Amino acid sequence: MTATRRIPGAVYPVHERSLRLMPKVLSRNERLITCIRHRFGMTTVVKVGAMNVSSIRYTEPLRVRLNRGEELAFFEFGSTVILLIEKEAFAFRDGLDVGGKVRVGEALGYWEGD
């Protein structure tokens, strides 16, 4: 892990309708940001809090090094995660559509060269 940061904010809803009516809601809500350096480059994980679910917690104890698949953080009720991945390092899996739902543990794609 390279860096972590908590950005306090509001806790507006983040469902589809809210995203349409309030375009900047994801940047107004509470966020817990984790930057991770790995062999494919850098990935930033932005956990976004929301109304009734803004309880984001790092898994304790917070470790400097994580193995593949290990838990980093969790929502005590659920919310939204934004991944920022270097374009050349990652390939999304077929069938993953913009606006589609992803279940916990479901693969998003694969690291190029992995």
Walk along the chain (114 residues) and give the pLDDT tens digit of each residue: 789 999 998 888 877 788 888 888 888 888 999 999 988 999 999 988 877 665 777 888 777 888 888 888 877 666 688 889 988 889 889 988 887 888 878 888 988 876
Residue 114 pLDDT: 66
Which pLDDT score, from 0 to 100, does residue 77 have? 66
Q: What is the DSSP letter of 62?
A: P
- Using alpha carbons, list the distances in angstroms from residue 24 to 19, 28, 78, 82: 8, 6, 20, 14
